[in-house]
Amino acid sequence: MAKGIWIIIEQSDLAIRKVSLELLSQGRKIADKLGEPLVAVIPGKGVADLAKAVAPYGADKVIVIDDDKLEKYTTGAYTSALNKVIKGGDPRAVLIGNTAIGKDLAPRLAQRLGVGMASDSTGVELGDDGAFTFKRPIYGGKAFADVVLSAAPILATIRPNTFPVAEPDASKQPEVVNESADIDAADLKAIVKDIAIAVSLRPELIEANIIISGGRGMKGPENYVILEECADVIGAAVGASRAAVDAGWRDVKFQVGQTGKTVSPTLYIACGISGAIQHLAGMGSSKVIVAINKDPDANIFTVADYGIVGDLFEIVPLLTEEFKKLVS
């Protein structure tokens, strides 16, 4: 009988991604309601010590899959290894972060396991009958669908920043089990030799708690410095609208929207962004939205919790000064 809530832990250079800790925290609540164990699954190379890092976040058991072939993420190797471990463990549900890796891995696992899945979920509820209801945005974020899954293993990807990270409990001592990767040779169709990562002191856009973004109203790439100065004061990431990216003002990796990155920060500050549906689809689930725009009829104000009608080149520097006072 299927039993247990499993969280696939994502790590980068042996640092656990924040979304994995969020899922462990929420998974603990679900597991307690069911009276079942919470299991953290850590694939990778040299990841044995990460069991200690996830232990304080509620796992009753940690499954470590340590193999040279899992050093760098590849679709085939991770799908092969996790598929066999999941089939052997027979969990009730498997939750994965809706990151670049999660979006690539989850549907392939669903195919191997022969189950459906809920993608990019922004909420999860457990019914009295044991069925899981996942809330996910549709039609560019203009509506939400409730996806009900009951056949085990239930599989879903969860948008980062959907759930808070629980306070760590240092007394938690989970059982640690080492599993063989047992990767099929036929699944090793690609080998990643190296990954080039741009170094930045600012948080990664998809995991940032605070994001300040600029759109067409920035008037040019040189003006993003005022957003960067503000971001550095409050520890924010800097994003951009599609219009700004298409104009060549910002690299596509900073684009927020339906054709860019989907974010869900605690605070999203939109500067000079009109609020096209494409953009709202990528940030509409933010906890608090602040809009700064000269046009009082800009669509961004329809979703904003707080709106400032005015010149961003005057308002953002004033905000930066006020933030400096607050953080000091």
Provide the number of structural domains found in the chain.
Answer: 2
Is the pLDDT assigned to residue 279 strictly greater than 70? yes
pLDDT digits (tens, 9 = 90+) for 181-199: 888 878 887 777 777 766 6
What does the radius of gyration of the chain's CA atoms come to, in whole angstroms? 21
- Identify residue 312 by its one-letter amino acid code: L
Note whether residue 194 is domain-resident: no
Question: 118 in the Ramachandran plot: left (φ > 0), alpha (ψ -120 to 50) or beta?
Answer: beta
Q: Is residue 101 part of a domain?
A: yes
Bridge partners, 249 (sequence order): none
Is there a single domain that holds both residue 231 and residue 133?
no
Q: Is the peptide bond before 153 cis (omega within 30 degrees of 0)?
A: yes
Q: Within a domain: residue 215?
A: yes
The domain of 96 spans 5-187
Q: Which of 152, 30, 157 minimizes the C-alpha distance to 89? A: 152
- For residue 277, pLDDT over 80 is answered with yes
DSSP result, 269-287: EEES----HHHHHHHTT-S
pLDDT at site 198: 64
Average pLDDT over residues 246-271: 92
List all residues 6 or more positions away from 46 whose beta carbon is below 8 Å from its beta carbon: 14, 66, 71
Asked if residue 272 is part of any domain, the answer here is yes
- 250, 231 Cβ separation under 8 angstroms: no
Residue 256 forms part of a structural domain: yes
Same domain membership, residue 135 and residue 256: no
At 303 the pLDDT is 94
Among 157, 187, 217, residue at a domain's last position: 187
Among 6-10, 12-16, 218-222, 308-312, whose mean pLDDT is lowest?
A: 12-16
Is 39 found in the same domain as 115? Answer: yes
Whole-number pLDDT of residue 259: 83
128, 120, 142, 301: CA torsion to nearest 10: 110
Is 214 within the bounds of a domain? Answer: yes
CATH of the domain at 209: 3.40.50.1220
Q: Mean pLDDT throughout 80-95?
A: 95
Tens-digit pLDDT profile for residues 317-328? 999 999 999 988
Residues 166 and 281 in one domain: no
**Strand 288-293 to 306-309 pairing:** parallel
Average pLDDT, rounded, for the chain: 92
Same domain, 179 and 30: yes
Q: Is residue 200 part of a domain?
A: no
Q: Which of 187, 222, 240 is the last residue of a domain?
A: 187
User: Helix or strand or coil: residue 39?
Assistant: strand
- pLDDT score of 192: 79
Same domain, 152 and 221: no
Last residue of a domain, one of 152, 187, 222: 187
In a domain, 199, yes or no: no
Query: What are the contacts of 244-252 at 24+ separation with CB within 8 A?
Result: 244/214, 244/215, 244/216, 244/218, 247/216, 248/221, 249/218, 249/220, 249/221, 249/224, 250/214, 250/221, 250/224
DSSP state of 207: G
**Percentage of the chain with pLDDT > 70?**
98
Taking Cα atoms as reference points, which of 264, 233, 216 lies closest to residue 224? Answer: 216
Query: What average pLDDT does the segment 253-259 reach?
Result: 90
Same structural domain, 261 and 162: no
Distance between CA atoms of residues 155 and 139, nearest Å? 22
The mean per-residue pLDDT over the stretch 68-93 comes to: 94
pLDDT above 90: percentage of residues in the chain = 74
Nearest Cα residue to 63 out of 163, 187, 159, 181: 181
Q: Which tokens is 96 given?
A: 């994965």
Same domain for 261 and 179? no
Q: Do 182 and 209 belong together in one domain?
A: no
Residue 8, both tokens: 């696939």
Q: 52 and 10 in one domain?
A: yes
Q: Is the pLDDT of residue 177 over 70?
A: yes
Which among 132, 2, 7 is positioned nearest to 59, based on CA atoms? 7
User: How far is Cα 13 from Cα 19, in angstroms, rounded to an integer?
Assistant: 15
15, 161: one domain: yes
Looking at residue 182, its pLDDT comes to 83
Whole-number pLDDT of residue 42: 97
Whether residues 234 and 145 share a domain: the answer is no
Helix (DSSP H) and strand (DSSP E) numbers for the chain: 8, 17
Give the CATH number for residue 168: 3.40.50.620
Q: Give the residue carrying structure tokens 């996790």.
A: 82
Helices (H), 55-149: 75-89, 100-113
* Model pTM score: 0.83
User: pLDDT of 108-120, one tens digit each?
Assistant: 999 999 999 999 9
- Residue 6: its pLDDT value, please? 97
State the Cα–Cα distance between residues 300 and 310, nearest whole angstrom: 14
* Mean pLDDT on 247-264: 91
